[in-house]
Amino acid sequence: MKNFHPSDIRRLVFDLDSLTIDFVKESWEDFRKFIQVLDDRDFETVLISNSIELTNWNTYSRLSILQGTCEEAYQKNSSLSGPDVFWFSEQSSFQKKLSNSTRNFAGSNSITLQNGGLQYQNLYDMLQIFNPSKITAKDLSNSICKLKLNSSQFPLVIGIGGPDDCGHSFFVGELVDSLEDQENLVSTIDLSQILGSEFKNNFENDKNTNSSFWYSEGIRGWLIEEVLSPYYNGKQVYIEKPPSIIKDFDLTIFPFFLAPEMILIIWGTTIFLPEFERFFDLRILLELSEKNAAARMFGLDDRQNFDQSFIEIYLKKEGKHYSEYLKENGVMKKIDYRIDFDNFNAFRIKN
């Protein structure tokens, strides 16, 4: 398992006959909850057993059941031997077969380590490893720390964009937690309330302004002149109280402080504009399917097949404006990391 990384795994396979020998009723209930978490995180799970009641497992959307032994299943199903597959088994002989074919696996007994696998004390501890969102945030924070270490530009600014109401704050929260776990000091500015396509016509008659997506020219000027420009030039920024032009918006926490050794994260919908170009060291774009973007816009459950008219309304209004913004500003050519953000529990870096 030299090249094992949790972000590469999409399918988890469980050898039930070896894993559940000592299970009692409560153990099965806990295992079902465990499978549900994996289901919510978009993992495909496969249960293999000589004897299993199919009707007990029909509530899971991404679960498959194979009857027989794990050896038979492994030999007959090529989909169980790919690099994106991870096995759970207590059988030493089968572990050795997986190890010889350089496949990823785990078990609870000490022989697992000798066989080249990953040993766990409690199966449910594996939820810490197979947590796509946490792993993605950690991978990004590692890259950011390397960039910060190697960059000639000491202040570091990260821009995070994505569709209206896509859940920027959740993503930013996960990333900030991971950066702070690595002892970085981080400040954030939320522009989602004052920067977006809904403000595009505010200045359409003013030929001297670049504020086509801003709530006001004053807010744009304050942010660039009082925060970004001095920070970009290596100066400390301290603002005790919010100026009157932003007092009605929750942009950040005051007193607001920035030092050159800190990391600044700015996020919003139409964040990748020409006026920000020179300030951003890293650009991250959150991407959603049309269905999920519409669901979050209207507060719907994206796991359900809701009325198609919601998607049509989104595509005619917010979705149309957002798509035009991406095209007009050449956003896709600027992005450093694209994030598949359809699932809060399983966001991943796109290749």
Q: What is the pLDDT of residue 44?
A: 97
Q: Looking at 64-78, 190-204, 249-263, 329-343, which range is the least confident one?
A: 190-204
Other beta carbons within 10 Å of 66: 18
Q: What is the pLDDT of residue 152?
A: 59
Residue 13, classed as helix, strand or coil, is: strand
Task: Give the model's pLDDT for residue 52.
Answer: 85
Considering only CA atoms, which of 1, 185, 201, 6 is closest in space to residue 101? 1
Distance of CA 7 to the CA centre of its chain: 11
CA–CA distance, 195 with 178 (Å, rounded to integer): 26
The reported pLDDT for the residue numbered 103 is 86
Burial of 247 (0-12, 13-18, 19+ CB in 10 A): exposed
Q: Report, in this order, helix, strand and coil percent for the chain, each rounded to 5.
A: 40, 20, 40
Average pLDDT, integer, range 2-19? 92
pLDDT of the residue at 207: 47
161-186 as b/e, with b when 16 or more CB fall inside 10 Å?
bbbbebbbeebbebbbebbeeeebeb
Tokens of 94: 């089968």
Q: What is the pLDDT of residues 195-243, one digit of tens each?
A: 998 887 665 544 444 447 999 999 999 999 999 999 999 999 999 999 9
Q: Which residue has the higher pLDDT, 111 or 199?
A: 111
Structure tokens at 218: 């004053």
- Domains of the chain are 6-127 (3.40.50.1000), 132-349 (3.40.50.300)
Mean pLDDT over 32-36 rounds to 95
Q: How far is CA 74 from CA 13, 21, 48, 70, 97, in A?
A: 10, 21, 10, 6, 10
For residue 200, what pLDDT is reported?
Answer: 74
Query: Which residue's entry shows tokens 């991406």?
Result: 326
Kindly state the tokens that stand for 289. Answer: 């399917």
pLDDT of 14 reads 97
Does the pLDDT value for residue 1 go beyond 70? no
For residue 131, the 8-state DSSP code is: -
Nearest to 143 by CA among 339, 346, 348, 336: 336
| pLDDT, position 51 | 86
| pLDDT at 333 exceeding the cut of 90 | yes
Q: Is the dihedral of CA 269, 274, 275, 279 positive or negative?
A: positive
- For tokens 């988890």, the residue is 12
- pLDDT at 329 (0 to 100): 93
Instruction: Determine contact, residues 294/300, Cβ cutoff 8 Å.
Output: yes
pLDDT, position 205: 45
The whole-number pLDDT of residue 227 equals 96
Q: Tell me if residue 346 falls in helix, strand or coil.
A: helix
248, 303 contact by CB (below 8 A): no
What does the pLDDT average to over 147-165?
86
The pLDDT tens digits of the residues spanning 118-143 come to 999 999 999 999 999 999 999 999 99
